[in-house]
Structure 1
């Protein structure tokens, strides 16, 4: 698997034999947490498409997945994500099915239905039961509970 940084707001995943590699067009580019988010979504999407394609006997060696995002403000965050795939060997009559399969990715579902996130110090007395590294009862800076 190879992940290529296409810019500060995009990555491309390609199925390349061997260990996962991360490549950048220049030494000035660095792999950011936003690239990690995009890579997680691309890897998950590739995984579900690969499983489906194996069952459907469709080769995946020419499948590439691009993930691009746009930032939003107040608070600063990723506001929009676009996932697109290029798959020359995918029969035209299977494209709609492939899109539906891609939407089955668990990372996609997580982003569409965000989890509750708590942040706290390990061992904090207010930690909610079962959350080894999280703290319950933390309020959002605006005062609303998380």
Structure 2
């Protein structure tokens, strides 16, 4: 019994360390790909979009966890909110030629061309923001 308690304590400590590492990595990755405010994405939409940029396919559950991180207190909305977010993100990115695709029964993804267009769009927004005449 004491052996089991020691193993549980060790796993809980390891889990805490891994959670901190994941949080740090996600924060660093988000800082590398800064979304400009001109896109008009809300905080939840931006988190979902960044997850789509980082992964091949994202399930609704993964997107839900990304939009409402593990620090969220209180009731979470129904998972169908992800469909609503995807619909809104699609509309906002369509004018930039970035499309989010669906894998029926699995989730959502950005194909390689969409990711390249998204990176070019983000770079263009950020370059415009860094010009002195725009920043002033």
The verdict on a shared fold, with TM-score over 0.5 as the criterion, is: no
Higher relative contact order (Cα pairs below 8 Å, separated by 6+ residues): 2
Q: Which has the higher strand share?
A: 1
Which structure: greater helix fraction? 2
